[in-house]
Amino acid sequence: MRLPQFFFSSIRFKIFILYVIALSLTLTFFNLLIYWNHKEVLEHKIDLLLDARVQTVESAVLTYWKAEAKAAKSGGNWFADLFGGAQKKPGPEDPYDTVIRYLTYDDLLSPAHDNLRIFIDVFNVDGNLVDSSHSNRGFKVLDKAILHRVLQGQKVLYAFALPSEKGRVPGRALAKLLVRDGRASQIVQARVPMKPIRAELRELLVKLFARSAAVIVLASWGSFFLVKRTLSPVDQMTRMIRNIKPDNLDKRIQVPATADEIARLAETFNEMLMRLEKSFLSQRQIIQDVSHELKTPLTIVRGQIEVTLKKKRSAAEYEETLQSALEEVVKLRRIVDNLLLLAKFDNLGLLLEMKTLDLNVLLEDILQDIRLLGQEKSLRVSFVAGEPARVDGNEVYLERLFRNLLENAVKYNSEGGSIRVVSETEADTVKVTIEDTGVGIPPQEREKIFDRFYRIDRARASGDGFGLGLSIAKSVVDAHKGRIEVQSTPGSGTAFFVWLPVGRAHHFLSTH
Ligand code: ADP
C-alpha cells in the first residue's frame, strides 16, 4: 500500500502517532514501576534471609560455646552432646568449621531461589577472614568502615562488588559481632551473590517490555482503523464540498447520522451554504432590480430627448422636455442615494456616530412635513408623545427611518384616513407605534416587505416607490440594536412598531 504524501500531515496520522507515544510512555512507566517494586521486594526478602541465617549461626555458636564451657567443667564430650552422638570431632585448630559447614548445607538455601547460594564468613575482630562456608576467593578482609560499625554492636547490612574475571560480581551481606564472656570475639557474616537476582530482574524487564511492545503494536493497529473510521466522514465531506460551485449552491452535504462534532460541522456547513445561497440569490435579484429600476427612468429620458431632437422645437417645448428629464434624473438620484446608503450600512453599520437625542422632538419635526403630505388625501395625523423618549442614536439615520415609515403610512393610506403615532417608554426601550388606516399588508408578504426592492404589488404602489424604504428602515433599526415589527389587517390598516434601546444617560437618571 503506497501512502500519499498527505497521509503524514493528516489528522489521522497525528492522532495515531500521539496514541502510540502516549501508550508507550504509559506502559514504560508501569513496567518500570513493576520492575522497581519487584526489585525492592526481592532485596527485602534477601535481607530477611541474611538476617535469619546470621541469627541461626549466632545461636548455634553461642550454644557451642556454652556446651564447650560446660564440657570443660565436666570433662565430657561436648561435640557428641551437641550433635546427638555424631562421631567426628573437630580438630582443635578449627573449632567453628564443623558448625559452620553444618549450618550452611545446601538444603538450607532459600527454596524460592534454588540457584541462590548463601555464604557464611567468619572474621576476627581485626576484620581478617578466619573461616568461610565455601571456598572464599575474593572476600578476605572486612571493609574498614563496616568493621567499625560492626564492632560498635550494629547489625550491618551492605552491598558489595567483588572483582572477578568477568568484571565485578555484586552481592549483599549482613555482618554481626559475636560476644563471648563480655568480649568481642568474632564477626559472622552471611553473604549472597546477587547475580542470579540481577539475572531474574533483567529477565522480568525483558518480558515486560516484549509484552508491552506486542500490546502497543496490536492497540495501535486497532486505533489506526478506529481513527480512520471516525474520520472517514470528513474525507467524504471534503469530496462533497469540493463539488460545490457558485452554480450549484443549492446542493447540501450529507450529514453523518452520528450526532457528534463531525455531524455538527456538516450541519453548520449546510447552514452556511443556505445563507450563502440566499445571499447569492438576493444579490442576483438586487442586480436585476437595480437594472430594472434604473432602466425605466433612463428609457423615459432617452425617449423624450430622441422625440424632441427629431425636429426644431420651440423654447417652451425644450423646457418641458428638460423639466421632465430633470424629474427622472431626480428619481434616479434618489435610487442611487438609497442604494449607497444601504451599501454603507452593509460595510459599517455599527460605526455610526451616535448621540443622545429625544425621539419625540424628532418625530414632531417629521410630522410637520407628513401633515402637509397627508393633506392631499385629507389624512388626520395625531401624535401621542409619552415622557421624553431619549435614545442614543444617529439623528440623520433615525430621521430616515421614521420618515420612510410615515411616508408609507401616507402612501398606502386611503382617502380621508388617519395616521396615529405613539411614543412610550417600556423598561429599557422606547417604543414608537405608527398606525395607519390604509390598504394593509397580506400576511404572506409581511416577512418580505423588509427585503431590498421588494414591493407587494407594483401597480398599487404610487410611482415613486422603489421597495427600498423598509429595508433601509430595518438596517437603521439593526444598527441601533433595536427591533422592528409589523401588524396588519388587509383592507383596514397597518401598524409598524419600532423598539430602540433607551439612551444610557437617561437610563442612568431614571434608575438611580
Ligand atoms: P416602497 O418604496 O414600495 O414603499 P418599501 O420598502 O417602503 O417600498 O415598502 C415595501 C412594500 O411594503 C411596499 O411596496 C408596500 O406594498 C408595503 N408597505 C409598506 N408600508 C406599508 C403600509 N404602511 N401599508 C401598506 N403596505 C405597506
pLDDT at 364: 95
> In angstroms, what is the span from residue 455 Cα to ligand 1's centroid?
6
Indicate which atom in ligand 1 lies nearest the CA of residue 466. Answer: 2
**Mean pLDDT, range 48-72, rounded to an integer:** 82
CA angle 131/132/137 to nearest 5° reads 110
pLDDT exceeds 70 at position 13: yes
> In angstroms, what is the span from residue 461 Cα to ligand 1's centroid?
8
pLDDT at 349: 55
pLDDT exceeds 90 at position 176: yes
Whether residue 193 has its Cβ less than 6 Å from ligand 1: no
Note the pLDDT tens digit of each residue in 118-169. Answer: 888 888 889 888 877 766 666 788 889 999 999 998 899 999 888 777 778 8
> In angstroms, what is the span from residue 214 Cα to ligand 1's centroid?
76
Banded model confidence at residue 268, pLDDT cuts 50, 70, 90: very high
pLDDT at 79: 56
* Ramachandran sector of residue 99 (left: φ over 0; alpha: ψ -120 to 50; beta: rest): alpha
User: How is 366-416 classified by DSSP, letter by letter?
Assistant: HHHHHHHHHGGGT-EEEEEE-S--EEEE-HHHHHHHHHHHHHHHHHTPPTT
- How far CA 31 is from CA of 26, 38, 39, 308, in Å, comes to 9, 10, 12, 102
**Mean pLDDT, range 460-478, rounded to an integer:** 78
**How is residue 439 annotated by DSSP?**
S
pLDDT exceeds 90 at position 369: yes
CA angle 401/405/408 to nearest 5° reads 140
**How is residue 106 annotated by DSSP?**
G
pLDDT exceeds 60 at position 461: no
Indicate which atom in ligand 1 lies nearest the CA of residue 450. Answer: 6
Whether residue 409 has its Cβ less than 6 Å from ligand 1: yes
Whether residue 116 has its Cβ less than 6 Å from ligand 1: no
Q: Which residues, 6+ apart, have CB-to-CB distance to 278 below 8 Å?
A: none
Note the pLDDT tens digit of each residue in 228-242. Answer: 888 888 888 888 888
**DSSP element (H, E) containing 243:** none
pLDDT at 205: 92
Banded model confidence at residue 412, pLDDT cuts 50, 70, 90: very high
Of residues 371 and 6, the one with the higher pLDDT is 371
pLDDT at 246: 80
CB-CB contact of 254 with 262 (8 Å): no
Exposure of 188 by Cβ count < 10 A (0-12 exposed, 13-18 middle, 19+ buried)?
Answer: buried
Whether residue 465 has its Cβ less than 6 Å from ligand 1: yes
pLDDT at 37: 95
Q: Whose CA is nearest to atom 25 of ligand 1?
A: 440
Which position has the grid cell 474525507?
235
User: What average pLDDT is seen over the chain?
Assistant: 83
